[in-house]
Amino acid sequence: MLGVGLMAAFGQQAAFLAAAGYHHHLGTNTRESAGAPPPDPGMAALRHWTPVLPDAAERDRVLGHLDRAGHTATDDPGGRTARDPSGNVVLLAVA
């Protein structure tokens, strides 16, 4: 959906995602976080991330995909925001 692909996976423990064939832009710990509740306030955690999309057309493509999947995006001064499945804010910015 965001133009990234799975570059490597280590069973159910970790996955590495990237765009344009890079080895990884984003690493995920799927072993520790699968089914976990959101972190308590004050705990160290990812709460916000910003994928920078190449242009408005790509942002609109992603927003259309989110809309078709039933996810709501809202206006933000830096772009449009939505929430990922863990409840983290995702700011869709344009380069």
pLDDT per position as a tens digit, 19-51: 777 777 778 877 777 777 878 889 888 888 888
55 with 95, same domain? yes
Give the rounded distance of the alpha carbon of 53 from its chain centre: 12
Q: Which domain holds residue 85?
A: 46-95
Residue 58 included in any domain: yes
Q: Residue 32 gets which letter from DSSP?
A: H
Residue 41 included in any domain: no
Domains in the chain, number: 2
Beta-carbon contacts of 7 under 8 Å, excluding residues fewer than 6 positions away, are: 16, 17, 18, 22, 23, 24
**pLDDT (0 to 100) of residue 71:** 87
Comparing C-alpha atoms, which of 9, 33, 67 is closest to residue 18? 9
Residue 40 included in any domain: no
**pLDDT (0 to 100) of residue 91:** 92
58 with 93, same domain? yes
